[in-house]
Amino acid sequence: MSKANEVVVTSQKVDKSPSSLSILWRELVRDKVALISLIFLGLVMLLVYGTSLILNQDDIVRVDLFALYEPPSAQYWLGTDYGGRDVFGQLVIGTRNSLTIGIIVTLMTGFIGILIGLLSGYFGGMIDNLFMRVVDFFMILPMLMIVIAFVTAVPKYNIISFSLIMTAFLWMGIARLIRSKALQERELDYVKASKTLGSSHLKIMLSQVLPNLSSIIIVTMTLNLAANIGLESGLSFLGFGFPESTPSLGTLVSYARNPQTLESRWWIWLPASVLILVLMLSINNVGQALKRATDARQRRG
Amino acid sequence: MWKTIVRRIIIMIPQIFLLSLLVFLMAKAMPGDALTGLLDPSVDPKALEAQRERLGLNNPWYVQYWDWIKNAIQGDFGQSFRFKMPVTDLIGQRVANTFWLALATLILTYLIAIPLGIISGRYNDTWSDRLITGYTYLGFAAPLFIFALVMVWIFGFHFGWFPTGGSVAPGLTPGTFSYVMSKFYHLLLPALSMALITTVSTVQYLRSEIIDIKHKEFVITARAKGASESRIYNRHILRNSLLPIAAFFGYEITGLIGGTVFIESIFSYPGMGQLFLSSISLRDFSVVTALVLLYGVASILGALLSDIILGIVDPRIRIK
């Protein structure tokens, strides 16, 4: 009798369905485009964070009046801008800054969004109503203008305040998504069973509901990362992102707001534009592949 | 249905109130006040203080808020110190340009989205569908401002087919035919650049909607009773799949607001977005607050419009 039980136990272990994270990984590796995108992203990150250990940001943003608007050459791989600053160096540092701020904002919006979504979805009722009215209000704000206005209004403006302002107006989407999923989860039997067993709400939320939402969280945060990089470079492009002393990819593109630069000095703005496009495309590729993986009907195998 | 609309409008009131409060507090947080721009710096600080007292700038914030909102409702947003004219008149000059830009973009968006969505959904997994899906994939990832820059670089500067700035050629009399044509010509490239990007989500939505619907039972029924293929697509499927898209119309307006800021800046198109950016760089805050409030109200109305359309086409989601 006891022996038969043991056999059952071991066979159960073998049949255990793969965890959602390993499914995501498996699907990602199978999707050639997504895999290439992921490798590309990894290489860019390695290059950008690696070289910026050697490159000195102050050196690159120092104005050199003897080398204004140099076209690409052996000394300046991508030429120089209106301050005689090396565009290639700015490109490397700009990519680093854009990626960093994108990741920070994504993590912070993710944290707030998951927290609020989980609370309102799990408890429902009054809490849900209250949070969702707040979300509704934030959703209808003209986000871009308010962010720009806050950027100018803040007295001590730096990277931290910039990412906080962006976070304040970007957490709603993920909160709504997590809330709708948590609403579905709380009706499932495992949550009810756990409640009957006397688990605390906190424990159910964090150690039981949250892991079940992990794949959807990863998908949304990946797609958000692309959107946030786009938004940050857009703000920098308009001149309300990073200051010129900490260039981002958008700062380089913003030089194209000078019609002469746009018309005849492509080396300043075009590489950064292409890089933004390729980065967003790659992150989106990875995100879409992950999204397909979370939907069992669309899996490739 | 009327009940739903009335309820939905009632929800709007606290939203507008909160928006105005947020905008007001933001204006308070900005450096300087209404007087900083009006007077030159040589004025005696005591006189300045007296002026402040007279204008109520030393009152508690809620009193000031009340004064501000009272004036704003009557259309008085104060003076722009840069242009030395009432903010309302200043915005009035620009609002038409942004309106035409937004309208042209909306029309182009649907003109592009509906045929592409139908082709892509009806003939899915053919080469034309793959081409369209590829376009939507790219357009989804491409930031609007980069796409617009490339458009103006290629078609404005390189080929010189389109003007690269302004809303009308100088020296034309308003009202004449050539004036209208010039306006239209200046509008075309900015609107097209924005439409080609904003249309992407509508194409994707329409495609998946059509693919979903064409496997429904009523389509099989229609086919069984002998309706022709074009009738099935034009009458049965299209009607059902266009409903949600009609409902997103209002949210489309909210999306356009952010877009026009970029587009107007890139094409030096004299609309509200450009006014907003230049005012904020020159710290002309009375203009900035008025514009943010205006844009905010526009997106609240957009959401209202969407919900009303959605309520008309889909009775299930009416507010009880």
Distances (CA, A) of A98 to A62, A93, A272, B259: 20, 9, 11, 21
Q: Measured between CA atoms, how close is B201 to chain A, in angstroms?
A: 14
Chain A contact probe: residue of B8, B26, B98, B146 with most A CBs at under 10 A: B146
Let me know how long chain A is.
Answer: 301
Task: Determine the average pLDDT of the residues in B250-263.
Answer: 85
Provide, as residue numbers in chain B, all residues whose Cβ is less than 8 Å from the Cβ of A256.
149, 153
Please check the confidence at residue B39 and state whether its pLDDT lies above 70.
no
Distance CA B223, CA B43 (A): 83
Percent of chain A with pLDDT over 70: 82
Q: Collapsing DSSP states into helix, strand and coil, what is residue A82?
A: coil
**CA B286, B291, B297 angle in degrees (round to 5)?**
130
Provide, as residue numbers in chain A, all residues whose Cβ is less than 8 Å from the Cβ of B144.
234
A vs B: CB pairs below 8 A: 110
Across the interface, of B146, B153, B261, the residue whose CB is closest to A262 is B153
Chain B touched by A297 (CB under 8 Å) = no
Provide, as residue numbers in chain B, all residues whose Cβ is less than 8 Å from the Cβ of A154.
29
Please check the confidence at residue B320 and state whether its pLDDT lies above 60.
no
Please check the confidence at residue B37 and state whether its pLDDT lies above 70.
no
- The pLDDT of residue B125 is 83
Total-model pTM: 0.83
Task: Determine the average pLDDT of the residues in A38-60.
Answer: 81
Are A259 and B164 a contacting pair at CB < 8 A? yes
Provide, as residue numbers in chain A, all residues whose Cβ is less than 8 Å from the Cβ of B277.
148, 238-239
Q: Confidence band (pLDDT; 50, 70, 90) for A26? A: confident
Are B143 and A146 a contacting pair at CB < 8 A? no
Percent of chain B with pLDDT over 90: 11
**Is residue B264 within 8 Å of residue B143, measured between CB atoms?**
no
**Is residue B54 within 8 Å of residue B38, measured between CB atoms?**
no
User: Which candidate, A26, A46, A42, A20, places its Cα nearest to that of A289?
Assistant: A26
pLDDT tens-digit profile of B279-299?
A: 888 877 788 888 888 888 888
Task: Determine the average pLDDT of the residues in A213-219.
Answer: 88
Q: HSE of A180 in the Cβ direction (CA atoms, 13 Å)?
A: 7
What is the enclosing helix (H) or strand (E) of A146?
A: helix A143-153
pLDDT tens-digit profile of B109-167?
A: 999 999 999 899 888 888 999 999 999 988 988 889 999 988 888 888 888 888 877 77
Please check the confidence at residue A59 and state whether its pLDDT lies above 80.
no
**Across-strand partners of B85?**
B80
- Token duo for residue A166: 């962006």
Q: Collapsing DSSP states into helix, strand and coil, what is residue A281?
A: helix
Closest chain B residue to A234, measured at CA: B145
- The pLDDT of residue A299 is 62
Distances (CA, A) of B92 to B75, B76, B169, B261, B264: 11, 12, 20, 17, 17
- The pLDDT of residue A7 is 47
pLDDT tens-digit profile of A91-127?
A: 888 888 889 999 999 999 999 999 999 999 998 888 9
Are B30 and A141 a contacting pair at CB < 8 A? no
Cα-Cα-Cα-Cα dihedral sign, residues A208, A210, A213, A214? negative
Distance CA B205, CA B302 (A): 19
Asked which of A272-281, B6-15, B53-62, B224-233 is least confident by mean pLDDT, the reply is B53-62
User: Which candidate, A220, A116, A236, places its Cα nearest to that of A166?
Assistant: A236
Are B145 and A234 a contacting pair at CB < 8 A? yes
Provide, as residue numbers in chain B, all residues whose Cβ is less than 8 Å from the Cβ of A263.
153, 157
Percent of chain B with pLDDT over 70: 91
Q: Confidence band (pLDDT; 50, 70, 90) for B41? A: low
Distance CA B258, CA B148 (A): 14
For A9, counting Cβ atoms within 10 Å of its Cβ (0-12 exposed, 13-18 middle, 19+ buried), the class is: exposed
- The pLDDT of residue A1 is 43
Please check the confidence at residue A65 and state whether its pLDDT lies above 80.
no
Q: Helices (DSSP H) in chain B: which residue ranges? A: 2-29, 34-38, 45-55, 61-73, 87-122, 127-141, 144-151, 177-213, 217-224, 229-231, 238-247, 249-266, 272-281, 285-313
Are A144 and B257 a contacting pair at CB < 8 A? yes
Provide, as residue numbers in chain B, all residues whose Cβ is less than 8 Å from the Cβ of A145.
257-258, 261, 276, 291-292, 295
Distance CA B117, CA A265 (A): 38
Q: Confidence band (pLDDT; 50, 70, 90) for A265? A: confident
User: In whole numbers, what is the pLDDT of chain A averaged over residues?
Assistant: 82
Please check the confidence at residue A10 and state whether its pLDDT lies above 60.
no
Distance CA B27, CA B279 (A): 13
**Is residue B198 within 8 Å of residue B252, measured between CB atoms?**
yes
- The pLDDT of residue A297 is 64
- The pLDDT of residue A11 is 47
Chain B touched by A58 (CB under 8 Å) = no
Distance CA B44, CA A180 (A): 60
Determine the residue type at B246.
Answer: A
Distance CA B268, CA A41 (A): 35
Please check the confidence at residue B38 and state whether its pLDDT lies above 60.
no
pLDDT tens-digit profile of A238-253?
A: 888 777 677 888 888 8
Q: HSE of A153 in the Cβ direction (CA atoms, 13 Å)?
A: 20
User: Which candidate, B112, B97, B94, places its Cα nearest to that of B192?
Assistant: B112
For B11, counting Cβ atoms within 10 Å of its Cβ (0-12 exposed, 13-18 middle, 19+ buried), the class is: middle
Please check the confidence at residue A15 and state whether its pLDDT lies above 70.
no
Query: CB-based contacts of A51: which residues, under 8 Å, 6+ apart?
Result: A92
Q: Confidence band (pLDDT; 50, 70, 90) for A57? A: low
- Token duo for residue B23: 């905008």
- Token duo for residue B187: 């509008």
Task: Determine the average pLDDT of the residues in B199-213.
Answer: 89
- Token duo for residue B166: 């302004």
Distance CA A166, CA A146 (A): 10
Q: Confidence band (pLDDT; 50, 70, 90) for A225? A: very high
Chain A contact probe: residue of B21, B24, B33, B145 with most A CBs at under 10 A: B145
Written as one string, the DSSP assignment of B3-60 is HHHHHHHHHHHHHHHHHHHHHHHHHHHSSS-HHHHHS-TTS-HHHHHHHHHHHTTTS-
Phi/psi at A213 (nearest 5 deg)?
-95, 0
